[in-house]
Amino acid sequence: MKRVAVVGFGYIGSVIGAVLADRGCQVVGIDLNQGLVDAVNRGECPIPEPGIDDLVAKTVAAGRLSASTDMAAVAGADVVVVTVGTPLSDEYDADLSHIRAACMGIAPHLHDGQVLMVKSTVPPGVTRRMAEEVLLPAARIHVAFSPERLAEGAAIREFQTLPIVVGGMDRAATAAAAAFWRSVLDVEVIEVASPETAELVKLACNQWIDLNIALAHELAKLADALPWPIDTLEVIRGANSLKKGQHYVNILTPSNGVGGYCLTKDPWFIDALGKSNGLDLRLSAAGRTVNDGMPAYVADAVDLFLKGRGKKAAKIAVLGYSFKTNSGDCRFTPVDPLLAALRAAGHDDLHIADPMVSDAEAAHHGVVLTRDLDAALDGADAVIINAAHDAFKALGVADFSRLLSPGALIYDGRIYYDRAMIDALTASGFVYRGVGRSI
């Protein structure tokens, strides 16, 4: 049985730790957060990821998962996985203080022969720097970088199905890291030449996603501006039927914006890396700017509708506060700037509902959520749907007809109603608008 220490037991660490424990590893999660450690040891998990609470409860009860604030717990591990945060610094670069502190904290407790993998997202060169400056002087261990690419909301499944990339400090480190993943997960393992290659793989993935969504947003804005009815989702479906080389065009979908911990920062790591190497890279800033503009774009459309109807004190139901469908994670949610833009336009009667978000998480963000979806919708002059959570997908025309004020606006920020639903809403007297869906 593999013994694994996961250093940084937050969102990613909890998923990795709980899944590995479920697959038979003996796992200790190490974190500075005493409250988090205590919760895990009680079999609870505060991370708002579907299914993680059951997995933590099950593996703690089975005696295969525990947590500690003691860095010395790495001493008992065959494999150490580092998953501490790497936030965006004030200079729009990676803040490496957590990863450096974590490496320095565990270094005195490492011993020869262990495998250490960095999974925190870092710019190329950071794993090598940590290895050479902190880790390898402490013990002869195998150091590698292995990007984590799972998506919140489907994290447990994705961690067990996505190919894993590993790049070690030398061939032996790459081989040891790859052998570990092959032994614990039934996934393809891709070995690359260096930690820097693997580090750039992660940034390339998130840069691609952010730019791709920015493209969808610009197409959507164009569709809205053109004088003909164009549904950007149809445009994208048509465009995506084209095969180029080995793959199809794959334009993602427009929405109310891009949030979360990763896409809002990782493109800036590329930008900073370019600057520090004398390059004037343009794409990161362009993509970030386009995507950051979407919440205000949605707020403007809603404001325009309400003012056009002469509604001064309009009630607006905001469905969805987390940044993503089926996740309760509110970090850098685009709904915050959306709410700010609505308030700046004079709309204060805002009723925000999100069944995925806990009261504690909402309070942490300074937002009051209503738990009563009917009450949020009752008499609303506009509804903005920011997530396709199951509770929102369950809403039908009859619910809207029973609750909303006649002729209300239904603004589709991310639920992507099909033609039949849009026709039914319109037939019931509602006005449907979506990002890039002037239909």
The site for ligand NAD (CB under 6 A) is made up of 7-13, 30-33, 36, 83-86, 98, 101-102, 105, 120-121, 148, 150, 152, 261-262
Closest approach of ligand NAD to the CB of residue 155, in Å = 7
> CA–CA separation, 73 vs 109, rounded Å?
8
CA 437 to chain centre: 25
Closest approach of ligand NAD to the CB of residue 329, in Å = 7
**Closest CB to ligand NAD among 53 and 231?**
53
Q: Which two tokens stand for residue 239?
A: 């465009």
Find, among 149, 267, 148, the residue nearest to 207 by Cα: 267
Catalytic residue among 103, 119, 202, 221, which? 202
Burial of 232 (0-12, 13-18, 19+ CB in 10 A): buried
Find, among 1, 78, 71, 63, the residue nearest to 29 by Cα: 71
Q: Is 307 a catalytic residue?
A: no
**Closest CB to ligand NAD among 154 and 235?**
154
**Closest CB to ligand NAD among 162 and 286?**
162
Contact 112, 131 (CB under 8 A): no
The Cα-based distances of 38 to 69, 84, 132 in angstroms read 9, 18, 34
**Closest CB to ligand NAD among 261 and 297?**
261
DSSP one-letter code for 94: B
Closest approach of ligand NAD to the CB of residue 201, in Å = 12
Closest approach of ligand NAD to the CB of residue 255, in Å = 17
Residue nearest to ligand NAD (CB): 10
Find, among 393, 416, 423, the residue nearest to 233 by Cα: 416
Q: Is 103 a catalytic residue?
A: no
Using DSSP bridges, classify how beta strands 164-168 and 142-145 pair: parallel, antiparallel or unpaired: antiparallel
Catalytic residue among 45, 262, 315, 324, which? 262
**Closest CB to ligand NAD among 66 and 428?**
66
Closest approach of ligand NAD to the CB of residue 49, in Å = 9
